[in-house]
Amino acid sequence: MPLHSLSESSFSDRSFSLSRRDFLARSSAALAGLMVLRVGHGAESKNSIRFALLSDTHIPSSPEVIARDTNMTENLKQVVGELLRLDRKPQGVIINGDCAYLKGLPADYANLAQCLQPIIDAQLPLHVTMGNHDDHEPLYNALSGQRPKTPLVGSQHVTVLETPFANLFLLDTQKAVNVVTGELGKEQLKWLGQALDARADKPAILIAHHTPQFTPPAEGKVWSGIADTAEFFDLIDSKKQVKAFIFGHSHRWNISERNGVHLVNLPPVAYVFSKDIPNGWVDAEVRENGINLKLHTIDPAHPKNLEIVNLTW
């Protein structure tokens, strides 16, 4: 969905201390239920930790399906190939929602799982968030490693990645399957406040699918972004360790700032809504005092390919 009104530029007590080598040795299935993870505390991550950020893959039931002149399956396969060819592999691959095409069908996720199998075979840890086109149960059935044994917040899909440089909070903004409106809800916001308070010693990076929407929709229109944006950003503003919010949904690569918090709108892996906008993925390197973002576009000839943005806090 196009971005609207972005003009204002009790959790689990189990933690897991793993070196990068040990962490990568666990398969996706072995990670089932471990929704609070310590990542990158080995010697290999002395100066930074690297994540591959993908969003809006929109994988359909059949690899032949094309939307907006785009074969979504082929785009994801291209990105997976690029990740596997990196000299320094990421310590996590994050797909930030709308993994499936429209309604989160079991066949969508079967195709998605097939596309992602090389990542799982290479023992690259995979994490997902839920978008409005996703459905929890079919996704869990296809990617068993994503199913939590004990969810952190009710039935919502939430993960905490604790790194030496920042804590990443992967949130669930899905309100309902194939409903464009996003929402965190009171229970998740309460949990997030508590989880942030418990980890106030490091910068926090929040990641969720939907865009913030600071202005209510016009009469007769629905929220296209996060319906409880005001409550969400009241919480963000009260927690000074929150340094960035990373989201997708609008299919638009854009970076802005609001009250000292960096807002990073990820590009889609799938289709774009305007031909001048790039699709692709982002190589994110989290360091002690910020994050370096490198855009990899699907079309290597796009003028923004390999664009680098360094955010500091």
Q: Tell me the per-residue pLDDT of 121-151, one tens digit each, with 9 for 90 and over.
A: 999 999 999 999 999 999 999 999 999 988 9
Query: Class assignment of domain 20-312?
Result: alpha beta
Q: Given this model, what pLDDT does residue 211 score?
A: 98
Strands (E), the chain: 36-38, 48-54, 66-67, 70-71, 93-96, 126-129, 159-162, 167-170, 204-207, 242-247, 254-258, 261-265, 280-287, 290-297, 308-312
Q: Given this model, what pLDDT does residue 45 score?
A: 65
Residue 186 carries which side chain, given as an amino acid letter? K
What is the distance between the alpha carbons of residues 188 and 157, in angstroms, rounded to a whole number? 10
Q: Are 37 and 161 in contact (CB under 8 A)?
A: yes
Question: What residue segments make up the domains of the chain, in order of their start?
Answer: 20-312
In a 3-state reduction of DSSP, which class is residue 257? strand
In a 3-state reduction of DSSP, which class is residue 161? strand
Q: Average pLDDT across each block of 10 residues of the chain; the chain has 313 residues. List them in order.
A: 34 33 36 72 80 98 98 98 96 97 98 98 97 98 94 96 97 98 98 98 98 96 97 98 98 98 98 96 97 98 98 98
What is the distance between the alpha carbons of residues 265 and 253, in angstroms, rounded to a whole number? 5
In a 3-state reduction of DSSP, which class is residue 36? strand
Entry field: residues in the chain: 313
Q: Given this model, what pLDDT does residue 23 score?
A: 35
CA 141 to chain centre: 20
Q: What is the pLDDT of residues 222-274, one digit of tens each?
A: 999 999 999 999 999 999 999 999 999 999 999 999 999 999 999 999 999 99
Q: Given this model, what pLDDT does residue 22 score?
A: 38
Q: Given this model, what pLDDT does residue 44 score?
A: 63
Q: Given this model, what pLDDT does residue 42 score?
A: 74
Quote the pTM value. Answer: 0.90
Q: Given this model, what pLDDT does residue 242 score?
A: 98
Q: Given this model, what pLDDT does residue 10 score?
A: 28
3-state SS string over 122-159?
Answer: CCCCEEEECCCCCCHHHHHHHCHHHCCCCCCECCECCE
